[in-house]
Amino acid sequence: APVQVKKICCIGAGYVGGPTCAVIALKCPDITVTIVDLNQARINAWNSADFDLPIYEPGLEDVVRQARGRNLFFSTDVDKGIKEADLIFVSVNTPTKKAGVGAGFAADLNYVELATRRIAAIAESSKIVVEKSTVPCRTAESMRTILEANSKPNCKFQILSNPEFLAEGTAIQDLLSPDRVLIGSLQTPEGKDACASLADVYAHWVPKDRILTVGLWSSELSKLAANAMLAQRISSINALSAICEATGANIDEVAHAVGRDSRVGSKFLRASVGFGGSCFQKDILNLVYLSESLHLPEVAAYWRQVVEMNEYQKRRFSKRVVDTLFNTITGKRIAVLGFAFKADTGDTRESAAISLVRDFVAERALVNIYDPKVPHEQIWLDLAEAMPTTPSATIQKQVTLSPSALEACKNAEAVVIATEWKEFKTIDWETVYAGMNKPAFVFDGRMIVDVEKLRNIGFKVTVIGRGE
């Protein structure tokens, strides 16, 4: 019979583990949830008295305020968390491998393996172990082999796959009312019981018909498939945006017309400077690697093109800036508004803004960056990593971090909108215009400005997916 879950441990207190398990704690007062991480600074931030949490996510602070100290705890004592739990989420990072076999494509499963080995070494009773991290298809099998080979004789492990579909910036909303919760298990009686135990946790707040239970391998593959198909829509619309710019069609109108077909749907058809975030590129490359390992080169090439189109879109946008500014931006000041990979997050992983600033610096432009949520030290880290051969003194000389959008635009030749922060829709453009060199250019990489209004002020406006 299914075990009733009373204690949950989540290994990994990051963008997924933190919000996900905070919401579980909020909705399941009868379950004690402990989120553990090796990173002391991160745990300290989760525990900070003034709720200065390690990640910015609308609504998160409120959830943590309600549950922390009641049935939600954050700790660096990984072993204690493992020992006490009936169910353990593994929510550690799975970045793209940087070296060795599959470098640049395959997922680095080292953190998953280390966490799994720790569970095997420490557990003194049977556990349900849940893959929350995004992993290649059949990773659960490796986890099971490791657990079975290293555990104490009285410990039995059931492994479930429960991928997370939240998007940053809307994580709390996504967790409170998910389109679906996906749970994969082996189709054995024990596997199905474990699946029922986890389904009961979600049933505290998620309607039963939204909890999908499937086989283990389908669940693992569905996560990669979902991200690949979402990213593919963006690359498709971005590919069409290039045709729009060359023909006078307007990508906004095209996307609207195409999306009105209920078979296509209107979401995720916003042309942009290119998608960013920690997962789309990583997960597609992971799928490409999987396809290649399975000797399916046509399948691999198909998905690889989604990432290549995205690289093209980023390059194309920075080139358009240079072309429009009379083919040179050397010594010119460019304001980059937004550095996060999307609005409502402080996360910059794979942000298109990083590529744009790198290209501008390479052209010897002076760049002012403003983002309302990204910490300054993070911007410096990202730029150093993006330009490994450029001395940091050069980067510091060419790049300035500005305290506001207005400040960033002062004395600039061009304003480039890289992130769709709401506040960029209500900038005082008259003041911006007065403070800029002329002609004053605006490049909207997110389709958020009122083009007519800006042109009336005097700006030369370039929008993604629109001809001049």
Binding-site residues for NAD(+), in ranges, read 12-17, 37, 42, 92-96, 133-134, 168, 279-282, 349
Residue 287: which region, alpha, beta or left (left: phi > 0; alpha: psi -120 to 50)? alpha
Residues 260-279 that bind ligand UGA (CB under 6 A): 268-270, 272, 275-279
Give the C-alpha separation, 387 to 136, whole Å: 30
Q: Which residue is nearest to ligand NAD (CB)?
A: 14
CB of 370 to ligand UGA, least distance (A): 18
Give the C-alpha separation, 88 to 82, whole Å: 7
Helix 60-67 crosses helix 17-27 at what angle (to 10 degrees)?
Answer: 50
Q: Does 16 bind ligand NAD (CB under 6 A)?
A: yes
Give the C-alpha separation, 372 to 355, whole Å: 19
Give the C-alpha separation, 288 to 199, whole Å: 31
Sign of the torsion formed by the C-alpha atoms of 38, 42, 47 and 53: negative
Q: Find which of ligand UGA, ligand NAD, none residue 37 binds, CB within 5 to 8 Å per kind.
A: ligand NAD
Give the C-alpha separation, 464 to 209, whole Å: 40
Stretch that binds ligand NAD, among 107-115, 192-200, 374-382, 387-395 (CB under 6 A): 107-115
State the number of binding residues for ligand NAD (CB under 6 A). Answer: 27
Q: Does 342 bind ligand NAD (CB under 6 A)?
A: no
**263 Cβ contact list (under 8 Å, min separation 6):** none
Site string for ligand NAD, 221-260 (x = CB under 6 A): ----------------------------------------
CB of 236 to ligand NAD, least distance (A): 22
Q: Does 45 bind ligand NAD (CB under 6 A)?
A: no
Q: Does 303 bind ligand UGA (CB under 6 A)?
A: no
Q: Does 92 bind ligand UGA (CB under 6 A)?
A: no
Q: Does 134 bind ligand NAD (CB under 6 A)?
A: yes
Give the C-alpha separation, 94 to 227, whole Å: 15
Q: Active site includes 21?
A: no
Q: Does 115 bind ligand NAD (CB under 6 A)?
A: yes
Q: Find which of ligand UGA, ligand NAD, none residue 12 binds, CB within 5 to 8 Å per kind.
A: ligand NAD
SS3 for 21?
Answer: helix
Nearer to ligand UGA, 85 or 269 (CB): 269
Nearer to ligand NAD, 3 or 122 (CB): 122
Residues 113-172 that bind ligand UGA (CB under 6 A): 134, 164-168
Give the C-alpha separation, 337 to 403, whole Å: 11
Distances in Å between the Cα of 384 and the Cα atoms of 98, 99, 354 are 17, 20, 10
Q: Find which of ligand UGA, ligand NAD, none residue 275 binds, CB within 5 to 8 Å per kind.
A: ligand UGA
Give the C-alpha separation, 374 to 157, whole Å: 40
Q: Does 109 bind ligand NAD (CB under 6 A)?
A: no
The residues carrying an active-site annotation are 279
